[in-house]
Amino acid sequence: MTGRRRAVPDGSGDDRAGRARSGGLPGLRTLLSGADLPAVVDELERMDAAPRAGAFALLPHPTAVRVVQMLDTDLQAELLAAMPEDQVRRLVADLAPDDRARTLAGLPAPLTERLLGGLSDAERRKTEAVLAHRPETVGRWATPEVVSMPDTATVGQALDAVRADTGDAEMLYVLPVVDEQQRVVGVVSLRRLLVSDPGLALSAVMREPITAHADDDQEVGANVVRDHGALAVPVLDDDGRLVGLFTVDDAMRVLQIEEDEDSARSAGMERLRRPYLATSVLALARSRVAWLFVLLVAATLTVNVLDFFEDSLEQVVALALFVPLLIGTGGNVGAQAASTVIRAVAVDDVRFPDLPRVVGRELVTGLLLGAALAVVAYVPARFFTDGQVALVICLSLVVVCALAATAGGMIPLLAKRVGVDPAVVSAPFITTFVDATGLVVYFLIAGVVLGI
């Protein structure tokens, strides 16, 4: 694995980053002298478009190549669009094929074609091979620059191949072993090669490969890397042939992207495609407004319920006092359950066959929460109204909390089953659902207890 990727800065880097943020462009020059790439990227992301382009132009070419790989796709496209095309050609030519493919995918098609045409035949073929895979799949992240070995080779021959690498291969710590049809039959680590007899056959020291499929969703592949603690996994096509390697640094980047997306959707909005300070106010509004329109329509359910039970409210006005308390509590309980289960689904702790267990656990959890809240709520409820209405409130809290927790645990699993991202079934949607059903429960219990 080369040093082309973003690394975590040490303490001195944090200090330099702080000076840069307070010192603007002079601070950026100081960062460049220290080669603190993560801090340089952080500083660029905080700038507006014009200063960012000017600051990026100050970077030495090798630094610019490494920095552009670390920026979000939208910022890459914005910066490259502001540069002369000859400089863009030189920069793109020095990117790794997988990084180059993701960068080109964010540029206008005519510019992409021109840039591809300016590459050497070998680099163009490798880049086009990555671009042939669908966006957000493992294939888009797989580096085709791999040192692979035939299964007939020896340990000594594998070590010679590693030494002969000119620096193009991104990952040398994991070597795929392939048969005559380029199907992966095993992997061997560089460490294992170094401690083995050079005369041994690779088949004697290789291990069973952990692999990902090129068409797998990028999050699925990243979870494979993370769950197995792998530095890299071979990526295969439909016939089991080697496509490339999915490295741990790319896997961590994918998981960060997916986590950002899930967090945004669970809050009822779309993930920002660039850092917050680099996002326009219009883009911020656009990322939120569509979901708010949907939730506004969904919230009319609550209005319809209140309208239906208007007569009950007129007979016992005190019931209206506790509507915000009831629906707010139910919504919070449902949101907590949904967030917990969405996270469990994301890390594969919970699967659809576990639905009955999840429903049972959340139902009991909701009942316990409702009972605890009912005990606490009885005293203030009794202070504002009579004992019967207080009883209605307490019973409603128990039922609503049980209903909210059960819905919050069940809906993400059902969404996953039908192919919808569980994060899309976000807390605001569940809150809206619980608001409406909770009010129905509230007024039905009031009708039974109060006889209205």
In a domain, 140, yes or no: no
Residue among 324, 320, 322 at smallest CA distance from 312: 320
Looking at the DSSP bridge assignments, the partners of residue 427 are: none
By CB atoms closer than 10 A (0-12, 13-18, 19+), residue 429 is buried
- Which one has a higher pLDDT value, 57 or 201? 201
Give the residue from 133, 160, 180 where a domain finishes.
Answer: 133
The reported pLDDT for the residue numbered 385 is 78
Last residue within a domain, chosen from 73, 100, 133 = 133
DSSP 334-394: HHHHHHHHHHHHHTTS--GGGHHHHHHHHHHHHHHHHHHHHHHHHHHHHHHS-HHHHHHHH
Q: Are residues 245 and 330 in the same domain?
A: no
User: Do the Cβ atoms of 449 and 385 come closer than 8 Å?
Assistant: no
Asked whether residue 22 carries a pLDDT value surpassing 50, the answer given is no
Residue 359 CA neighbour count, 13 Å, CB half: 10
Q: What is the CATH number of the domain that holds 88?
A: 1.25.60.10
The answer on 306 and 441 residing in a single domain is yes
**Highest mean pLDDT pick, 156-170, 380-394, 399-413:** 399-413
**pLDDT beyond 50 at 10:** no
Determine the structural domain holding residue 26 and report its residue range: 11-133
- Is residue 2 in some structural domain? no
Higher pLDDT among residues 220 and 435, named by residue: 220
Pairing mode, strands 174-178 and 184-189 = antiparallel
Residues 6+ apart with CB under 8 A from 268: 288, 291, 292, 295, 426, 427, 428, 429
Claim to verify: residue 120 and residue 166 sit in the same structural domain = no
Q: 25-34, 68-77, 82-91, 180-189: lowest mean pLDDT where?
A: 25-34
* Helix, strand, or coil (residue 184): strand
CATH of the domain at 197: 3.10.580.10
- Considering the domain boundaries, does residue 420 fall inside one? yes
How many whole angstroms separate alpha carbon 449 and alpha carbon 452?
Answer: 8
Lowest-confidence range among 80-84, 227-231, 245-249, 346-350?
A: 346-350
Q: Give domain status of residue 274, yes or no.
A: no
40, 31 Cβ separation under 8 angstroms: yes
Higher pLDDT, 221 or 304: 221
Judgement on whether residues 26 and 126 belong to the same structural domain of the protein: yes
Same domain, 95 and 24: yes
pTM above 0.85, yes or no: no
Angle value at C-alpha 108, between 103 and 112, nearest 5 degrees? 60
Last residue of a domain, one of 133, 159, 174: 133
Closest C-alpha to 321, from 371, 399, 377, 403: 377
Mean pLDDT estimate for the chain:
80
248-267 confidence digits (pLDDT tens): 989 998 988 877 766 655 55
- The verdict on 304 and 226 lying in the same domain is no
- Residue 200 or residue 108, greater confidence: 200
Higher pLDDT, residue 355 or 418: 355
Give the least confident one: 101-110, 186-195, 287-296, 381-390.
Answer: 287-296
Q: Is 90 exceeded by the pLDDT of residue 247?
A: yes
Q: What values do phi and psi take at 183, rounded to 5?
A: -85, 135
Count of C-beta atoms within a 10 Å radius of residue 306? 16
Residue 145 Cα distances to 305, 387, 423, 427, angstroms: 61, 75, 35, 43
Work out the average pLDDT over 373-377: 89
**Residue 275 lies inside a defined structural domain of this protein:** no
Q: What is the pLDDT of residue 32?
A: 53
User: What pLDDT does residue 291 have?
Assistant: 61
Do 311 and 437 reside in the same domain of the chain? yes
CB environment 357-387: b (16+ within 10 A), e (fewer): ebbebbbebbbebbeebbeebbeebeeebee
User: How far, in Å, CA of 36 to CA of 308, rounded?
Assistant: 63
Among 4-8, 143-147, 235-239, 306-310, name the one with the lowest average pLDDT.
4-8
- Asked whether residue 223 is assigned to any structural domain, the reply reads yes
Looking at the fold, whether 96 and 179 belong to one and the same domain comes out as: no
Same domain, 252 and 339: no
Residue 309 included in any domain:
yes
Q: What is the CATH number of the domain that holds 290?
A: 1.10.357.20
Number of structural domains (the chain) is 3
Same domain, 122 and 23: yes
Residues 298, 442, single domain; the answer is yes
* Closest to 365 in 3D by CA, of 413, 392, 403, 327: 403
**Do residue 159 and residue 97 come from a single domain?**
no
- The number of beta carbons lying within 10 Å of the beta carbon of residue 348 is 10
Residues sharing a CB contact under 8 Å with residue 419, sequence separation 6 or more, in sequence order? none
What is the per-residue pLDDT across 118-138, written as a single tens digit (0 to 9) for each?
888 989 999 999 999 998 899
Residue 90 lies in a domain: yes
**pLDDT at residue 166, rounded to an integer:** 72
pLDDT surpasses 70 at 300: no
Of 263, 273, 231, nearest to 248 (Cα)? 231
Please give the distance of CA 95 from its chain centroid, rounded to a whole number: 24
pLDDT over 90, % of the chain: 29
Residues 49 and 77: beta-carbon distance below 8 Å: no
Nearest CA to 404 out of 378, 441, 355, 356 is that of 441
